Amino acid sequence: MTERAALDTSALMMPVELDVRLFDELERLLETFEPVTPQPVVEELRRLSEKGGTEGTAANVGHDLAVERCLVVDTEEPYADDALVELAREDVVDYVVTNDLPLRDRVLAENVPVIALRGRNKLAITRP
């Protein structure tokens, strides 16, 4: 069964910021998965990419990964974190991938596992 993993802004910026092989790591953990990202995350990455510098580069790469490798879904919530919680609450996704601690706690409160960085460049699953 293919599981859906929703990627947030921090996850999509991991390849540049933290040297994480994001999709390889997700494959290692989940085997078959469909990467999903809400439209507000794509918009947030676009805005961040305009800043330039290292963060802008990471956001630009993250934006490209989002539109080329992920299913971009519309949500009721206009703010990226709220959109990810909405996807978790409505059982649209099986996991949320994030390094954002407040978001992680909100997703776990919805009884959805979180995939986050553990160690230097490995991802691990935290279950509610």
The rounded mean pLDDT for the chain is 96
pLDDT at 126: 97
The stretch 27-40 carries a mean pLDDT of: 96
Q: pTM for this structure?
A: 0.95
Domain that holds residue 39: 3-126
Which CATH number does the domain housing residue 120 bear? 3.40.50.1010
User: CA 104, CA 42: separation in Å to the nearest integer?
Assistant: 19
Q: Which residues contact 125 (CB under 8 A, 6 or more apart)?
A: 29, 95, 113, 114, 115
| pLDDT confidence tier of residue 1, bands split at 50, 70 and 90 | confident
Tally of domains in the chain: 1
